[in-house]
């Protein structure tokens, strides 16, 4: 155990936890806004897979990371339009249509990968951006200020999302529409347009999270996310629809994952217990939520389609 | 029906010739055939060999046919034998694989290769229904008593031992990291062999992390990073998720040891050596039996002894000749039984 | 007209999804007609294949029947994968522990163990939701992860086939006793008793939901928890009950997957889908496709089962990756769930002649 409390290992663990948390955070923030407007999207994982492949393939072809990120965003936006059509126009049951999106993304990203790439070929990973001055602080610098740009973006989006939800007209409409669409409608807020905006935001973030994942790992293969998108949806509940607490959930999940791998590498967790170690992030997340036991109620109109009559 | 003898001779001759060329190019002597050093810059993809048989083949495999790992090792082996099978790949769902295996047998394919340990249970039910079809199944150490099933498996600890031994030569007492998937199957054999080889050569026991997943690239990546932060000077690992670990090795200029297929394509400069599965060695014997009328009943191992395991050393890495010679010596001792790699 | 529309709109939606599938097959350079024929041939081409399709549909039906209970009680259970695994583990443990019991005793015991295992795995998120305000989407997703690792641990440790310890260390149990195998219904096919079991389960679920006070309470709680509470119902207990029953049926799917399999053993490839075939998710799709009605879930499971078996043939015949079939399944789900509203529009347009 003493091996763990050396500065290099602690710094490495912190950095690893932050890297791990980045895609969860991006996807969960997007889903938070979507759910605040009353729309559940279980298809986050599928959108992430499509964004991940799109980003990866773009970088493989052009070696331009920012083009890759852009493609990830665009794919997310496109899937958002599809999901908006399905949920807002056609009033489809949200739980099931999300699973439809998930299956489509899982299958289609794999199909494209097999047809266009085949063998997993590494790309150049997203470059690290060292923040001037801060990156040079001993220990804190390497832990917090030597990450790729998308990691900073993800963290910056936490206060920005809060601000958007709480202070902007769009955010107020989102919350109103998620709580009581009838009342919002009678006040002249377009339920459809507001939800459309929230869905587009959520899916675009999922696409970005996917591209962030594949560009950070510098690879794509079948089911690259391994259910990451589902965990991101779970983290929205962990965070009780508030960006700050969603951040806490993503960091908790990422840090526990990073810590268990470090402990395994230092033999603090014996080799035979690898499966128990792999359960840790899931179990600890549940336990943490039980202990925190916030009785925050979700958006009242979550999963309920809206029509005037 | 004994048509393949000449082919075998021709291939043996070609192999000797190729080995001689490689040996000449690298200026090293004493290649045993169990190692091969590639000339830097050569394409590591496998060329279609001369066809050794008129039998028709089908392959059912759990991951993609070009995964640079388990499934590709079989596709490459068939390619070396000049065989183009019908392929159903990516069938990690056992029931789907079973349907595919049965379907090929119904279609009248002569030889159906079930390239997944987990398919064995289904095969036990399917094989008796098609007594005239030969099934080849692995990795498995027994044929479940079925006389139209051949089984194959790698003595993966052998190559692990050699890789571990070479790694210890290079690191001079520094730490090494192993990125393992689920603690089961061939992965354990390879990892244990690696540990045995490294420690036998005086290195401290390598640190081993089993991530709990064969496919989670993110976990493999962070595991490799943990090893690097702990001071690891060499990394190795097994399963299709290790592509993430190779990236970490590349980013930190740390040498990598591969297994299953030649992984030089992932990182030209940093892959020191790969233990490559040449299933063609046992496939060739099986084909001979099948053409002679015996459709199964035997389990065959690929080993350093029979040339089924080949340590492919990357010419681009520039390993010292003395280390290569040392590895040759270790291989010779494993072959003659002086060293037990388990 | 409206009744016709009711039947044809979902079919039209499925057809539209197939058109997309055809475009994809064209893009891959193959003939879509050949693709469609391959799917049909794979799913229904012979008695044996129809049997295989029915067997493939069985876990979907069991999970789906359980899902109708959960969703009717307004509980979103996406923990089917974990509950299948839990049921499979407990029933397999029983078969390993008591292999010498006569079939007439062992088989019911194994089935019971599956129900208990899956039910327990469902009760955890139920209790967490009812008494600790932990959202069930979160807990069921997390418990899926835990179940997979538990399976990996047990199959490479305590439950491993003894010959594998010295052999290739395959994480699997030994071949289980034939005394626990689900009896085959038609010799020469894979059609086994599990299919009957699943149909019985669906009928029982229908009876429970619409013909018993228990079912009434579950639906009342799902419809409006506040009103149910005002009427004196224990909302918490009904939430636990719904997830337990839903989990138990998924656990039964686990029993069918092990004791109806050709290999008659539990084997892991390290993840969940290799064993479950994603039945935990596909079952949700089948249930909602069947309008959350347990009896309609029977044909809808069979439909999705036929797509899954047909896709295998598609890959074998035309060398089209089965990823296409997964994508196609997703599209069908999207088109069909979207068609409900369209059906409403058609009704509106053609008058109220219901």
Nearest beta carbon to residue A122 from set B182, B218, B266: B266
Q: How does pLDDT run across B1-25, given as a tens digit for each residue?
A: 333 333 433 443 444 444 444 444 4
**What ranges do the domains of chain C cover?**
31-319
Residues with Cβ within 8 Å of B121's Cβ and at least 6 positions away in sequence, in order, are B94, C172, C175, C261, C262, C263, C264, C265, C267
Report pLDDT digits (tens) over A120-156: 888 998 999 999 989 899 888 888 999 999 999 999 9
Mean local confidence (pLDDT), A280-305: 84
Say whether residue C152 is in contact with chain A using an 8 A CB cutoff.
yes
Phi then psi for residue A298, to 5 deg, are -75, 175
Max CA separation in chain B (angstroms): 60
Whether C57 contacts chain B with CB within 8 A = no
Give the pLDDT confidence score for residue B198 in this predicted structure. 96
Whether C43 and C35 have beta carbons less than 8 Å apart is answered as: no
Predicted local distance difference test score (pLDDT) of residue B17: 42
Residue B155 has pLDDT above 50, yes or no: yes
Q: Are residues B224 and B102 in the same domain?
A: no
Distance (Å, whole) CA A147 – CA A126: 9
Tally B–C CB contacts below 8 A. 121
Residue B4 lies in a domain: no
Residues of C (88-107) whose Cβ lies below 8 Å from B: none
pLDDT of residue C96: 96
pLDDT tens, position by position, A195-213: 999 999 999 999 999 999 9
- Do A256 and B219 form a contact (C-beta atoms < 8 A)? no
Tokens of C98: 């008591």
Is B125 within 8 Å of C268 (Cβ atoms)? no
Q: What is the mean pLDDT of residues A284-300?
A: 82
Rg of chain B (C-alpha set): 20
Percent of chain B with pLDDT over 70: 89
In a domain, B93, yes or no: yes
> pLDDT tens digit string along A78-101?
999 999 999 998 888 787 789 899
Give every CB contact of residue B39 below 8 A, 6+ residues apart in sequence: B22, B25, B26, B315
Q: What is the predicted pLDDT for the residue at B16?
A: 41
User: Which residues in chain C have Cβ-Cβ distances shorter than 8 Å to A92?
Assistant: 334, 337-338, 340-341
Q: Could you give the CA distance from residue C40 to residue C38 in angstroms, rounded to a whole number?
A: 5
- Nearest CA among A19, A58, A20, A122 for reference residue B270: A122
- Residue B122: closest CA among C325, C315, C172, C249: C172
Burial A114-125 (b: 16+ CB within 10 A, else e): beebebbebbeb
What are the two backbone dihedrals, phi and then psi, of residue A297, each rounded to the nearest 5 degrees? -85, 145
Q: Using CA atoms, how far apart are residues B191 and B256, in angstroms rounded to an integer?
A: 14
Contact B324, B305 (CB under 8 A): no
For residues C202 and C99, give the distance between their C-alpha atoms in angstroms, rounded to a whole number.
29
Contact A221 B215 (CB under 8 A): yes
Do B195 and B106 share a structural domain?
no
Pairing of strands B232-237, B175-180: parallel
Whole-angstrom distance between the N-terminal and C-terminal Cα of chain A?
63
Residue B330 shares a structural domain with residue B288: no
pLDDT recorded at residue C6: 56
Which pLDDT tens digit goes with each residue over A6-19? 888 899 999 999 99
pLDDT confidence tier of residue C82, bands split at 50, 70 and 90: very high
Is pLDDT larger for residue B43 or for residue B270? B270
Chain B contact for C42, CB < 8 A?
Answer: yes
Regarding whether B288 and B141 lie in a shared domain, the answer is: yes
In this structure, the answer to whether residues B203 and B299 fall within a common structural domain is no
Instruction: Give domain status of residue B247, yes or no.
Output: yes
Residue of B71, B74, B106 whose CA lies nearest to B89: B71
Contacts of A261 in chain B (CB under 8 A): 209, 211, 219, 222-223, 226
- CATH number of the domain where residue B160 is located: 3.40.50.2300
Of C152, C267, C315, the CB nearest to B118: C267
Interatomic CA distance for residues B178 and B245, integer angstroms: 10
Q: Is the pLDDT of residue A190 over 90?
A: yes
ipTM for the complex?
0.92
* C263–chain B Cβ distance below 8 A for any pair: yes
B163 and B197 co-located in one domain: yes
Q: B207 and B302, same structural domain? A: no
pTM score: 0.91
Domain-located, residue B114: yes
Higher pLDDT, B64 or B78: B78
- Per-residue pLDDT averaged across A246-274, rounded? 94
Question: Which residues are registered as beta bridge partners of B259?
Answer: B275
The most confident of the ranges A284-298, C1-15, C333-347 is: A284-298
Choose the closest CB to A224 out of B211, B217, B251: B217
- CB A241 within 8 Å of CB A36: yes
Alpha-helical regions (H) of C133-159: 136-156
pLDDT of residue B113: 97
Chain segment B300-310, per-residue pLDDT in tens? 999 999 999 99
- Number of domains chain B contains: 2
Any chain C CB within 8 A of the CB of A227? yes
Mutate which: B218, B256, B270, vs A, most A CBs within 10 A:
B218
Residue B32 lies inside a defined structural domain of this protein: no
Average pLDDT of chain C is 89
Average pLDDT, chain B: 85
Q: What is the DSSP string of C296-347?
A: THHHHHHHHHHHHHHHHHHHHHH---THHHHHHHHHHHHHHHHHHHHHHHHH
Residue B257 resides in a domain: yes
Residues of C in contact with A42 (CB under 8 A): 78
Q: Among A93, A107, A234, select the one facing C323 at the smallest CB separation.
A: A107
Coil/strand/helix, residue A269: coil
Same domain, B298 and B287: yes
Which residues in chain A have their CB less than 8 angstroms from residue C341's CB? Answer: 89-92
Of B15 and C91, the structure prediction assigns the larger pLDDT to C91
> What is d(CA B116, CA C264) in angstroms, rounded to the nearest whole number?
17
pLDDT digits (tens, 9 = 90+) for B318-334: 888 899 999 999 999 99
pLDDT surpassing 90 at residue C206 = yes
Q: Which of B141-145, B167-171, C58-62 has the highest mean pLDDT?
A: C58-62
Give the domains, in start order, of chain A with CATH numbers. 7-292 (1.10.3470)
C43 neighbors C284 (Cβ within 8 angstroms): no
Minimum distance, in Å, between the CA of residue C44 and any CA atom of chain B: 13
Q: Write down the pLDDT at residue B184.
A: 85
Same-domain status, B260 and B175: yes
Percentage of chain A with pLDDT > 90? Answer: 77
Q: What local confidence, expressed as pLDDT, does residue A301 receive?
A: 85
- Cβ-defined contact of B213 to A226 (cutoff 8 Å): yes
- Over residues B170-194, the pLDDT tens digits come to 988 889 999 999 888 888 999 999 9
More confident residue, C91 or B41: C91
Which residues constitute the domain of residue B210?
Answer: 156-276+311-335
Residue A309 has a pLDDT of 59
- Partner residue opposite A99 with nearest CB, options C139, C153, C284: C284
Q: B89, B63 in Cβ contact below 8 A? A: yes
Chain C positions touching B142 (Cβ under 8 A) are 163, 167
Lowest-confidence region among A202-211, C211-220, C327-336: C327-336
Going by the DSSP 8-state scheme, the letter that residue C37 receives in this structure is: H
Architecture field, domain C31-319: Orthogonal Bundle (1.10)
Confidence (pLDDT) at B43: 67
* Band of pLDDT at residue C143, cut at 50, 70 and 90: very high
Do residues B68 and B178 share a domain? Answer: no
Position C148 scores a pLDDT of 96
Min distance A62 CA to chain C CA atoms (Å): 24
Residues 155-184 of B with CB under 8 A from A: 177, 180, 182-183
Least confident stretch, B86-95, C54-63, C69-78, C345-354 = C345-354
Co-location of B322 and B293 in the same domain: no
Mean pLDDT in residue range C132-160: 93
Q: Is the pLDDT of residue B208 over 80?
A: yes
Q: Do C327 and A103 touch (CB under 8 A)?
A: yes
Instruction: Tell me the per-residue pLDDT of C333-351, one tens digit each, with 9 for 90 and over.
Output: 888 888 777 666 666 665 4
Which region holds residue A118: left if phi is over 0, alpha if psi is between -120 and 50, else beta? left
Inter-chain touch A227–C145, beta carbons under 8 Å:
yes
pLDDT of residue C13: 77
Q: Which residues of B touch A226 (CB under 8 A)?
A: 213, 215-216, 218
Six-digit token string for B125: 């039910």
Average pLDDT over residues B91-118: 89
Same domain, B242 and B139: no
pLDDT at C36 over 90: no
Those chains having 3 or more beta-carbon pairs within 8 angstroms of chain C are A, B
The mean pLDDT value for A69-83 works out to 97
Q: What pLDDT shows up at residue B333?
A: 93
């Amino acid at each position: 155990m003493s091996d763990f409390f050396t500065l290099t290992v602690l710094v490495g663990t912190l950095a690893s936890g932050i890297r791990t948390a980045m895609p969860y955070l991006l996807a969960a923030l997007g889903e938070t806004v979507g759910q605040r407007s009353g729309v559940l999207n279980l298809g986050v994982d599928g959108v992430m897979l499509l964004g991940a492949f799109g980003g990866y393939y773009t970088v493989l072809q052009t070696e331009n990371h920012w083009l890759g990120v852009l493609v990830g965003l665009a794919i997310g936006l496109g899937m958002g339009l599809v999901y908006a059509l399905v949920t807002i126009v056609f009033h489809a049951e949200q739980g099931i249509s999300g699973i439809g999106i998930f299956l489509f993304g899982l299958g289609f990203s794999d199909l494209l990968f097999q047809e266009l790439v085949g063998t997993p070929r590494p790309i150049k990973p997203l470059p690290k951006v060292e923040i001037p001055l801060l990156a040079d602080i001993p220990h804190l610098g390497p832990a917090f200020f030597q990450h790729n740009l998308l990691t900073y973006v993800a963290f910056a989006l936490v206060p920005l999302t809060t601000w958007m939800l709480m202070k902007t007209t769009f955010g107020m409409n989102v919350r109103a529409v998620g709580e009581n669409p009838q009342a919002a409608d009678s006040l002249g807020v377009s339920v459809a347009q507001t939800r459309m905006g929230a869905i587009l935001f959520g899916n675009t973030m999922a696409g970005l999270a996917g591209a962030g994942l594949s560009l950070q790992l510098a690879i794509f293969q079948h089911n690259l996310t391994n259910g990451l998108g589902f965990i991101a949806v779970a983290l929205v509940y962990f965070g009780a629809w508030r960006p700050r607490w969603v951040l806490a959930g993503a960091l908790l999940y990422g840090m526990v994952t990073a810590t268990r791998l470090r402990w395994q590498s230092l033999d603090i967790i014996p080799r035979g217990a690898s499966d128990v170690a792999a359960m840790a992030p899931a179990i600890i997340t549940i336990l943490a939520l039980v202990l925190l036991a916030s009785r925050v109620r979700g958006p009242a109109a979550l999963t309920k389609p809206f029509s005037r009559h | 029906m004994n048509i393949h003898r000449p082919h075998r001779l021709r291939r043996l001759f070609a192999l000797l010739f190729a080995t001689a060329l490689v040996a000449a190019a690298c200026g090293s002597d004493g290649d045993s055939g169990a190692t091969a050093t590639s000339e830097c810059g050569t394409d590591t993809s496998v060329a279609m060999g001369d066809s050794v048989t008129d039998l028709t083949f089908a392959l059912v495999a759990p991951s993609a046919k070009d995964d640079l790992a388990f499934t590709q090792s079989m596709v490459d082996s068939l390619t070396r034998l000049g065989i183009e099978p019908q392929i159903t790949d990516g069938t990690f769902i056992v029931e789907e694989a079973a349907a595919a295996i049965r379907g090929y047998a119904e279609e009248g394919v002569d030889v159906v290769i079930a390239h997944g340990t987990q398919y064995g249970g289904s095969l036990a039910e399917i094989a008796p229904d098609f007594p005239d079809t030969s099934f080849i199944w692995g990795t498995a150490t027994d044929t479940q008593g079925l006389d139209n099933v051949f089984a194959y498996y790698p003595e993966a600890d052998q190559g692990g031992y050699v890789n571990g031994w070479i790694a210890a030569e290079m690191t001079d007492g520094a730490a090494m990291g192993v990125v393992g998937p689920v603690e089961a199957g061939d992965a354990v054999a390879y990892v244990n062999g690696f540990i045995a080889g490294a420690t036998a050569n005086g290195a401290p026991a390598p640190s081993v992390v089993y991530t709990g997943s064969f496919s989670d690239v993110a976990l493999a990546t962070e595991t490799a990073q943990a090893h690097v932060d702990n001071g690891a000077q060499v990394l190795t690992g097994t399963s299709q998720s290790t592509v993430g670990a190779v990236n970490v090795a590349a980013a930190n200029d740390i040498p990598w040891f591969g297994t299953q297929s030649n992984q030089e394509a992932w990182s030209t400069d940093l892959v020191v050596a790969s233990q490559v599965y040449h299933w063609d060695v046992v496939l060739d014997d099986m084909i001979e039996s099948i053409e002679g009328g015996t459709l199964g009943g035997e389990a065959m191992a690929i080993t350093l002894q029979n040339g089924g395991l080949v340590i492919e050393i990357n010419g681009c890495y520039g390993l010292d000749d003395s280390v290569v010679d040392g590895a040759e010596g270790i291989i010779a001792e494993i072959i003659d039984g002086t060293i037990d790699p388990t | 007209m409206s009744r016709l529309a009711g039947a044809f709109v979902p079919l039209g939606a499925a057809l539209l999804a197939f058109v997309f599938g055809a475009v994809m097959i064209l893009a891959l350079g193959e003939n879509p007609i050949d693709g469609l024929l391959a799917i049909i041939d794979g799913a229904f081409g012979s008695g044996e294949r129809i049997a295989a399709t029915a067997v493939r549909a069985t876990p979907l039906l069991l999970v789906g029947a359980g899902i109708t209970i959960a969703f009717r009680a307004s509980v979103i259970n996406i923990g089917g994968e974990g509950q299948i695994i839990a049921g499979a583990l407990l029933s397999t443990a029983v078969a390993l522990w008591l292999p010498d019991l006569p079939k007439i005793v062992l088989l019911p015991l194994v089935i019971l163990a599956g129900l208990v295992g899956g039910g327990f795995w469902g009760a955890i998120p139920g209790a967490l939701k009812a008494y600790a305000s932990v959202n069930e989407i979160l807990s069921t997703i997390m418990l899926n992860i835990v179940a997979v690792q538990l399976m990996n641990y047990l199959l490479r440790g305590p439950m491993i086939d003894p010959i594998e310890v010295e052999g290739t260390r395959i994480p699997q149990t030994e071949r289980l006793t034939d005394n626990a195998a689900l009896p085959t219904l038609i010799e020469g096919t894979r059609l086994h008793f599990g299919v009957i079991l699943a149909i019985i389960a669906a009928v029982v679920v229908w009876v429970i939901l619409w013909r018993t006070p228990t079912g009434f309470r579950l639906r009342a709680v799902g419809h409006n928890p506040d009103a149910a509470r005002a009427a004196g119902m224990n909302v918490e207990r009904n939430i636990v009950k719904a997830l337990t029953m839903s989990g138990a049926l998924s656990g039964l799917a686990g029993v069918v997957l092990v004791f109806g399999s050709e290999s008659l053993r539990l084997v892991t490839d390290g993840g969940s889908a290799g064993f479950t075939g994603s039945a935990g998710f596909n079952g949700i799709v089948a249930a909602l496709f069947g309008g959350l009605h347990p009896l309609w879930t029977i044909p809808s499971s069979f439909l999705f089962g036929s797509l899954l078996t047909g896709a295998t043939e598609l890959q074998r015949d035309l060398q089209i990756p089965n990823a296409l079939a997964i994508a196609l399944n997703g599209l069908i789900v999207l088109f069909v769930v979207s068609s409900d509203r369209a059906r409403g529009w058609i009704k509106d347009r053609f008058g109220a002649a219901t």
